[in-house]
Amino acid sequence: MRPSLWSFMVMASSCLAQGDLAALLASQDDLSTLLELVGLVDGLADTLSSASNITIVAPTNQAFANVPRDIPEGQAVELRNDTIAISALLANHVFKGIYPSNVITNIPTFAQTLVNGSYVSAQQPFSNFTGGAYNGLVKNGDDVCILSGELTISTVTEADIKLGEGITIHKIDTVMSFGAPLQLFTYRSGYLAMNAALEAAQLNVDFGLTGAGIPGLNISDYTIFVPTDAAFESIGSVLESADLETLQEVLKYHIIPNNVIFSPSLGNVTVPSLQGNNLTITVLPDGSAWVNDARITYPNTILFNGVVHVIDSVLAPGDFDRTSLEPSAPASERLAFPNASFVSALPFSSVAFAGDLMTYTTTPVLLQTVAAVPTPLSEANASATTTTSSLPQFTGACSGLFPSRVVALSIAVFAAFLM
């Protein structure tokens, strides 16, 4: 039985109304599409108006017009006929916490939204993080940008529109995207060796493909280190002679289960891997981040249910002594398998999602250059661009929504219409 909207509203009675979201959207000519989509989810405008400590990211009409029509959310925007996809899309644009533009720095902040595993349409699920999908906020020159799945960058075109004291709204020029499942990401990004290794290893782990026909344990909330094709080729001789169990152990060593670690949270720590041995994380004063002897070359790709950090060498299970790290050495001299040699034709080649047409032909410059971790210089810049008055609101959590009731309310109102 679907819970009634009135029961949700009664739950929210202790939360004072912040303003009229529908009226605010109606006053903005370039947000009329958003207003119409919000109106398709009964009671959503009132529920969000009654919330506090949230940031609403508002795509403009042109942003919605640019959404590809061959994906579920694009079809829903075009036809206005899929409440589940529309609800998921809108939920992905509401951050838990207030993030005014003046606290966003060149070090990305990754915050959770209201979209969770309850949003499943006939075509696909949309996200499966505990507590909500992640998106990133980062300064790019004078612009504030938002990072989401599928290497998507949205630029804030008008910031800090207030709806009462507890709601901040930013207009953006590009609709945020959902994260892809791991192997779909590796195919689209060209990390075919990792894709093929996962196929060959038969880990019996599903990284985001749900459904009755999908075998294996579905895991969520994980961090995975993905070596480049060149990294696999550099130890090709070892892979040629590796048995299935060895391949499984090596790949599981690249996964941190039940721990979503974005690069700004990295430090000099050890973290247990899915394989069982610890991974040694190192952050150097120059801002470079390392896992064992491998450098993180491309951090923070948001997946359907995890985060990817691309690394320049394949990790070998076992203890690693941080003092042995040689950061100035090229990747070819930092092999975790010291007796390995280069082989161009790897022993596994069958890939998942072969033939998918949405390959990433280029990587946005911002994603290649954004700082992975704070450095002394970036911390100084950050302190210079924040204001004391804003910081108390920059909570990164929905505490003002009374998590036991009204955060659940905002999520539940979306979810109620999926039942």
pLDDT, one tens digit per residue, over 214-255 is 556 667 899 999 999 999 999 999 999 999 999 999 999 999
The letter for the amino acid at 17 is A
Locate 317 and state its tokens: 């299970």
pLDDT at 419 over 70: no
pLDDT at 417 over 80: no
**DSSP single-letter state for residue 179:** P
Domain boundaries, the chain: 5-179+371-416, 191-333
Given phi > 0 = left and psi -120 to 50 = alpha, else beta, which region is 260? beta
Q: What is the Cα–Cα distance from 280 to 319, expressed in whole angstroms?
A: 8
pLDDT value of residue 379: 43
Equal CATH topology for 5-179+371-416 and 191-333: yes
Domain 191-333, CATH among 2.60.40.1180, 1.10.150.120, 3.50.30.30, 2.30.180.10:
2.30.180.10
| End-to-end Cα distance, the chain | 8
For the entire predicted model, the pTM comes to 0.85
Q: How crowded is the C-beta side of 142, counted as CA atoms within 13 Å?
A: 2
Q: How far is CA 110 from the centre of its chain?
A: 8
Domain 5-179+371-416 has CATH 3.30.360.10: no
pLDDT at 273 over 50: yes
pLDDT value of residue 216: 62
Locate 142 and state its tokens: 């004078």
pLDDT at 382 over 90: no
